[in-house]
A = this chain, B = another copy of it.
């Protein structure tokens, strides 16, 4: 059975395990086996916070190595961009030749999200670029996030679903995720 690693910031939710189980159930519906990043509480015994964090990282990397594909939740997390852990895992998986698909539950364009995160403190500078108060430019490539993120999907599966979540479901809505599974089913000749 094709194995899919489920990357995304929903691991930080209070009901992370429940969301993970819902994602795994959807995977089964489409004939896949889903793997959710572990919180590994069972392995925490005797470990310092630091050792626990590093241990979870190792386990997640091993999970990705053992999977055929990654579906990444790129919903912006604590800033205008995707969760950095998810971004890291995308790069890791893409370099290993895994299939990488993605979705985001926020339809607002990256440029607008960034300007908002900067409280509108931006200006069009001499070089035509929109820049923040430190002079650092804001990407205006009509992409959904930093160009390395979109570039990965474009070079890999080509599948990046943008679907605005219903109110109060930003990190729990699975409509975009399910569309990734439908596409993966066709893509992977399943």
Q: Interface of A with B (CB < 8 Å)?
A: 9, 12-14, 48-50, 52-54, 56-58, 60-61, 78-85, 87-96, 114, 117-118, 125, 127, 131-132, 134-137, 139-143, 145-152, 154-155, 170-171
Contacts and interface: CB of A to CB of B under 8 A. Distances in A.
B85 A88 contact: no
A5 to B, nearest CB: 12
9 cross-chain pairs, A with B, having the tightest CB-CB distances, nearest first: A57-B151, A79-B79, A53-B141, A91-B91, A91-B92, A95-B95, A12-B136, A53-B147, A88-B91
Count copies of this chain in the complex.
Answer: 2
B84 A146 contact: yes
Contacts of A58: 151, 155
A125 B155 contact: no
Contacts of A146: 83-85, 88
B149 A85 contact: yes
21 contacts: A14-B125, A49-B142, A50-B142, A52-B141, A53-B141, A53-B147, A53-B150, A54-B154, A57-B148, A57-B150, A57-B154, A78-B81, A78-B114, A79-B81, A85-B87, A85-B146, A85-B147, A88-B148, A88-B149, A88-B152, A134-B171
A13 B136 contact: yes
A117 B132 CA distance: 17
Given A54-B143, A56-B151, A91-B92, 18 more contacts: A13-B135, A14-B136, A14-B137, A54-B150, A54-B151, A57-B152, A58-B155, A83-B146, A84-B145, A85-B147, A85-B148, A87-B91, A88-B91, A92-B94, A93-B95, A95-B95, A95-B96, A136-B171
